[in-house]
Amino acid sequence: MQRMQSMAEGYGVAVAQFAPSDDAVGNRGEITRLADLAVARGARLVVFPEYSSYFTPEPGEDWLTAAEPIGGAFTTHLAALADRLGVHLVAGMIERLDRPGDAAGARRVANTVVAIAPGAGVVARYRKLHLYDAFGQQESAWVAPGAIEPPETFEAGGIRFGLQTCYDARFPEVTRRIVDAGADVVCMPAEWVRGPLKEAHWRVLTTARALENTVYVAAADHAPPVGAGNSMIVDPMGVEVVTIGEATDVAVAWISKERIETVRRVNPALALRRFDVTPR
């Protein structure tokens, strides 16, 4: 009875947690299984992790081979799945860039998030702005940063969604720009690498991005052993509504614009701020 009441009160959004591998076909199969499970639990939109199309713990030449264009096997599979289930899907992928090299003369791919709508295919995309050149890693050796462009958003269930990725959570201006573009929910696929205090950083930063912007954040991470897990949906008051621990699983929360409006009456932080975000 409680589940039926929750479904009636909001729009079902799920975070799906798994550990993508270098088996692209296997990854698509796991996405299908988890999407079916999420829909069975009431979801109308499902967020999958960063690098859901292909992943190895250390990027290398194989990433160049595994990269796909928008419209390749990965997004085609997602579109067919969205059509079959009648739901929106958000997932990270390695995107092939249609150029022989970048300004530095290196061959690199894009770390891209796509949003897929039933009957419409790709309705929004986001290329990761801040690359993970931290904690001993150097993502930029193989991945090109996205251009600073107006955020792309899309609507589902009368709610507006925006996109960002993983390490971008450490830069609050990224989320603020997405919210300024009208997003009520920020979908954040991630591959948050495990390490000392990293799980604490993940939880604090994800919560802060929701709380300071009075929006929902739906953050889907990789399952261990490489990822920290703890995929979660946080509401506009900073409440961790649902969380997945270390398991491969999905978790569903029912979100509503009414909750956002109620929180913003109590905490009108967006209306009271005195600064805008400008790119550098």
| Active-site residue identified among 128, 152, 187, 191 | 128
Residues 6+ apart with CB under 8 A from 100: 107
Active site residue 198: no
Active site residue 166: yes
| Active-site residue identified among 68, 139, 166, 187 | 166
| Active-site residue identified among 50, 95, 152, 191 | 50
Cα dihedral: 128, 130, 135, 137 (round 10): 60
Active site residue 187: no
Active-site residue set:
50, 128, 166
